[in-house]
Amino acid sequence: MKRFLIFTTIGFGLLSITLLNKKEQPVTPVKTTIEEETPSLKTIYDFKVTDVEDNEFDFSTLKGKKIMIVNTASECGLTPQYEQLQQVYEQYKDQNFTIIGFPANNFMSQEPGGNSEIATFCKKNYGVTFPMMSKISVKGEDMHPIYQYLTQKDQNGLEDSKVQWNFQKYLIDTNGKLVKVIAPRTLPNDPAIISWIEGKE
C-alpha cells in the first residue's frame, strides 16, 4: 500500500512539472471578414490618347502644369464657350497651364462631325489653338478610360461625378490629380477658375 502511494505521488508530481513547463502555443486569430483590396489611384499622367490629327498625345508630357479638361461640341448652346476657353488659354499658357478639349457626341448629337470637321470648325470660328483630341464618348458603356478616371472616385480619389452636358470642366493640379469638377454652364473665365489657375486658392 505504501509502495502504491509513493508511485502515485511521484506520478502526480511529474505530471504537474510537465504541465508547468509546457509552453503555450500561439493562437492564430480567425479572420471573420474578407479584406477587399483598395484599387490603386491613378493620375492623369497614366493616360495616352489620340489628338484630333490622329497623333498620340501623352499626358505625362504635361507634368508640372495645371490642366483644364473639357468635353466640347460644335452645335450646342454652350459652344460659344470656345471663345472664353481660347482667351484663358492664351492668357495662361505660358504660366504652367493648359486646356485639353475632348469633342463628344453624347448630348443631343451636338458633335456629329468627324475629327477634321471639328478641327476646321474650332479654328475657323473661334481661333482655337489649345490641344484638341479625337472625338470620344464621355458617358455610357463606351465611356473612354480617361473619363472613367475623371468620373470615378475609386480611380481619381476625389469624387464620383457624371458629365452633365457639353463643356463640363475637370481641373487637374500640378501633380496630375483631379481637384475640382466645374458645371457646364460655368464659364471658363469664372473668377473661381481664374483664382485656381493663379494659385490664389
Residues carrying an active site annotation? 76
* Other beta carbons less than 10 A from residue 29's beta carbon: 6
Contact assessment for residue 165 and residue 81, using Cβ atoms and an 8 Å cutoff: no
Distances in Å between the Cα of 197 and the Cα atoms of 38, 81, 131, 180 are 32, 18, 18, 12
Cα–Cα distance for residue pair 149/14, rounded to 1 Å:
70
SS3 of residue 24 by DSSP: coil
Listed residue (167, 129, 125, 163) closest to 147, CA to CA: 163
